[in-house]
Structure 1
């Protein structure tokens, strides 16, 4: 006599059912596409960025195929009916995107801007990918070229190692670092997503005038991130960043979404915690000395 299915069996059955519903979008099955359920995508809260995760990544930005991520923004050859090239580049990156709340919140604000969530945890990445697919299916239209949520996607990557493999120089206009792992122990500080070395990479892929948004509920981490962007702790990278004044943030819709729409921000609100926000602006490149 067999007992009730365990958690893994339930998860596998759920995934198979979701795949059948996805097939129904193409007319093979039929059925309502529902948003994925988090309980079937459970994983540890954090992943070690220094571990060998056997990730696949492009050799350079020129080798990255974005057509499968944003099919609505692919130029089609009408005569041969084949995909040609992307009509736009990715401009916004959510590093450590979690369950994708920020992407979902930003998508309708910038419908013509391509956004990418980058996450190291496998199950969490799968959840975001399936969430975006479900939202696209629920909102698909035969008359509109760009239906909702066609401008967002996600992939699994370790940005501490491979960020320049995805984006060329001065490609991004916005980078979001929302509630990163604080790594409280001093010996773990090297794993923080903000450091002098990483900030130089952020400067490389961000266009002059572009912004890096940071938010956390840990005041010490907030001070660390600001310090490593604009103080002497930042080394040479401090010449490339300046902090955006607080009065400018009041009119920035991205700050509102970042503070209210992500899963972590909602959790902090429920628990009555504080949120510490800093936005850094990419300066113009300094002139080479004569």
Structure 2
């Protein structure tokens, strides 16, 4: 005889029911348990496009699918054989805002009504946390079907440190959020920090001139690290504090992420810095 389902099976059954029944009830975090951090250098089983033009965003933003007939292109599968391959479904607008390491999606959900005409994407490396955000967005869309709220946010599983140029064209993004990233305290782990000289060059590539990188952390050492690396990069300048504090997105970022709320409960400090993408110098 088989015994009652264990905790793991219960979590899997719950997540399956969330996806299959299309419920409007918000998912419960306890059924999406996972370690707090994932190793970005591991070979995770990830799906990513070869180029940004190959990315099909239609399943993430179905309300913004362009009204068009699917195109069929032929490309060789082998030297002597050609196959038909559908081209990606086009959207009426591009993704412009990205939350790197979006966690449980608090920032995405708060930004959605504040930026109603902008497509926002959360990128999260942890499998079950990604599933939680996707189920949360699905439930919110059902709850707000009469207003079409939350149609402009999506979440996918990705390793931003490795594959962001696979998803976004040069100068596509207007905002990047880096909220409470893993501080990687040990010196030998600093190479895993999400802000570095190399990664900042990738952020500069996908950001349009005038675009903003938003950073927040409760670890002062990490804050100093991020400020140092962005200020040293020729493509960025730090935004003055008075302009920073007038930015609505900064106000939302301070209060709406799950980590931010935890810091608030523990009466901790939050360190904020934002940086503007500069125009490239003429050749």
Give the TM-score of the pair, scaled to structure 1: 0.88
What is residue 200 of structure 1 aligned with on the other side? 201
For 1:142-161, list aligned pairs within 5 A: 147-161=148-162
Q: Which residue of 1 aligns with 2:5?
A: 5
1:245 aligns with 2:219: no
Structure 1: how far apart are the matches of 2:16 and 2:190? 40
5+ long unaligned stretches in structure 2: 70-87
- The answer (yes or no) to whether the contact 1:178–1:214 under 8 Å persists in 2 is yes
CA distance in 2, matches of 1:65, 1:15: 24
Q: How does 1:159-198 map to 2 (within 5 A)?
A: 159-198=160-199
C-alpha offsets along residues 45-103 of structure 1, whole Å, 9 cap, x if unaligned?
A: 0000000002110000000001111111112249xxxx962100000000000000000
Which residue matches 2:228? 227
Tell me which residue corresponds to 1:55: 46
Number of corresponding residues: 265
Whole-Å separation in 2 of the counterparts to 1:241 and 1:84: 34
Q: Whole-Å Cα distance in 1 between the matches of residues 89 and 157 of structure 2?
A: 25
Secondary structure of the corresponding residue to residue 149 of structure 1: coil
Residue number among 32, 43, 61 corresponding to 2:34 in the alignment: 43
2:65 and 2:2 map into 1 onto residues whose CA distance is: 50
Alpha carbons 1:76, 1:84 under 8 Å: kept: no
Point out the more displaced range, 220-229 or 3-12.
Answer: 3-12
CA contact (8 A) 1:172 1:210 kept: yes
Residue 33 of structure 1 corresponds to which residue in structure 2?
Answer: 24
Helix, strand or coil: the match of 1:165?
helix
Question: Are 1:249 and 1:255, in contact at CA under 8 Å, matched by a contact in 2?
Answer: yes
Match of 2:100 among 72, 95, 103: 95
1:162-204 CA distances to partner (integer Å, 9 max, x unpaired)? 0000000000000000000000000000000000000000000
Kindly indicate whether residue 122 of structure 2 is the aligned counterpart of residue 117 of structure 1.
Answer: yes
How far does the alpha carbon of each residue in 1:234-265 deviate from its partner, in whole angstroms, 9 at most, with x for none?
Answer: xxxx2110000110122111001110000000
Q: Distance in 2 between matches of 1:17 and 1:198?
A: 38
Q: How far apart in 2 are the matches of 1:20 and 1:162?
A: 30
Distance 1:84 1:94 in 2: 23
Aligned residue for 1:154, secondary structure, equals strand
> Is residue 144 of structure 2 the alignment partner of residue 139 of structure 1?
yes
Task: Extract unaligned runs of 5+ from structure 1.
Answer: 23-31, 232-237
Structure 2: distance between partners of 1:274 and 1:4: 45
Match of 1:70 among 61, 66, 91: 61
TM-score by length of structure 2 reads 0.90
- What is the DSSP-based 3-state SS (H/G/I as helix, E as strand, rest coil) of the residue aligned with 1:65? coil
